[in-house]
């Protein structure tokens, strides 16, 4: 199957700022991909480019469409949930469902209402009176009730408490994801989503630092925790890409190392995606 998203040398400037710098990647169907980077790394700019919201240089195909010239067709098959609510604030919940029925041929009102019954969102209240969590849930309800091939989540859990965050991602997995679709999650808090990801993209200063599956990361990177008094000797031999101290021990992050040879030196583990990201960003202590 061809990739749902195909980007080739995508670039975007805002004046002198190079927001996207030669971004090339291909995302197939059936993947949950984390787009990870610090604030200002280019995450939202990249998402806006692949949904046709802004101009760019390079070539892009998303669901077989060219995002800029075929945005209307593309958005019929793409769901987007952002940090900032874009729902019409003057509408009531019930009115929003009626509105969606009228504008989107793939919207399933019954499915949306079924989802909303699991929440405390009132049907007769205006959207502007809802809490941030309720607005996110409502947006999720209408998005998941619309048949699409691609779901884009742009920092969707920012400002939500832990219960809302857990419900959001469990709902996405249970009610949306299957092997024919893909989900792209933009976040700078990788810890809360890494358990559901199949792949990860690290981006900083508009450049892709790494694009790999979670399985590949587990094979490529190793974490070794050893006594502090052995650190100097082993550091010279192992050349860790990052290192930090904890409770009188040193933790090395190693790349492309024979893990069997490390067992006698200390505790060997698979590092978290967050640890790998910090190391590649050069921010380890």
Is 188:36 a contact under the CB 8 Å cutoff? yes
Q: Which residues pair with 11 in a beta bridge?
A: 57
d(CA 154, CA 157): 9
Q: Give CA–CA dist 91/95, Å, rounded.
A: 6
Q: Which of 187, 173, 168, 153 is nearest to 274 (CA)?
A: 187
Neighbours of 265 (CB within 10 A): 17
DSSP state of 126: B
Mean pLDDT of the chain: 90
Alpha-carbon distance 257 to 264, whole Å? 14
- The secondary structure of 52-89, three-state, reads CCCCCEEEEEECCECCCCCHHHHHHCEEEEECCCCCCC
Residues of the chain with pLDDT under 70: 1, 84-85, 159, 283-285
Closest CA to 165 of 47, 81, 41: 81
Looking at residue 159, what is its pLDDT? 67
**Tens digit of each residue's pLDDT (9 = 90 or more) over 136-170:** 889 888 988 998 999 998 887 776 777 777 777 88
List residues bridging with 207 in a β-sheet: 204
Q: Helix 93-103 crosses helix 132-144 at what angle (to 10 degrees)?
A: 30
Q: What is the pLDDT of residue 129?
A: 94
Query: What are the DSSP E strand ranges found in the chain?
Result: 5-14, 17-27, 32-36, 57-62, 78-82, 150-154, 182-187, 199-204, 207-213, 221-227, 242-246, 249-255, 267-269
What is the rounded CA–CA span in Å between residue 50 and residue 232?
47
Q: What is the pLDDT of residue 165?
A: 78
The pLDDT score that the predictor gives to residue 39 is 86
Residue 271, both tokens: 């590092």
Q: Are 19 and 12 in contact (CB under 8 A)?
A: yes
pTM, two decimal places: 0.88
The 10 Å Cβ neighbour count of residue 94 is 14
């Amino acid at each position: 199957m061809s990739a749902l998203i195909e980007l080739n040398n995508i670039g975007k400037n805002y004046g002198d700022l190079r927001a996207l710098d030669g971004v090339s990647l291909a995302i197939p169907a059936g993947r949950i991909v984390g787009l990870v980077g610090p604030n200002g790394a280019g995450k939202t700019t990249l998402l806006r480019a692949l949904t046709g919201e802004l101009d760019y240089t390079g070539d892009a195909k998303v669901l077989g469409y060219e995002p800029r010239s075929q945005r209307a067709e593309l958005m019929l098959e793409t769901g987007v949930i952002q940090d900032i609510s874009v729902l019409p604030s003057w509408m009531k919940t019930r009115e929003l469902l009626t509105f969606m029925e009228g504008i989107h041929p793939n919207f399933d009102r019954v499915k949306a209402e079924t989802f909303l019954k699991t929440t405390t969102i009132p049907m007769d209240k205006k959207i502007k009176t809802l809490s941030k969590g309720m607005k996110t849930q409502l947006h999720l309800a209408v998005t998941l009730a619309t048949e699409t091939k691609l779901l884009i989540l742009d920092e969707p859990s920012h400002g939500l408490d832990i219960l809302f965050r857990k419900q959001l991602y469990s709902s996405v997995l249970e009610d949306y994801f299957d092997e024919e679709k893909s989900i792209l999650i933009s976040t700078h808090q990788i810890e809360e989503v890494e358990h559901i990801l199949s792949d990860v993209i690290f981006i900083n200063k508009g450049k892709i630092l790494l694009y790999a599956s979670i399985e590949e990361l587990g094979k490529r990177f190793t974490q070794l925790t050893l006594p502090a008094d052995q650190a100097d000797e082993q550091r010279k031999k192992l050349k860790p890409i990052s290192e930090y101290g904890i409770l009188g021990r040193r933790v090395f992050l190693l790349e492309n190392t024979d893990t069997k040879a490390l067992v006698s030196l200390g505790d060997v583990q698979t590092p978290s995606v967050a640890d790998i990201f910090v190391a590649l960003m050069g921010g380890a202590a």
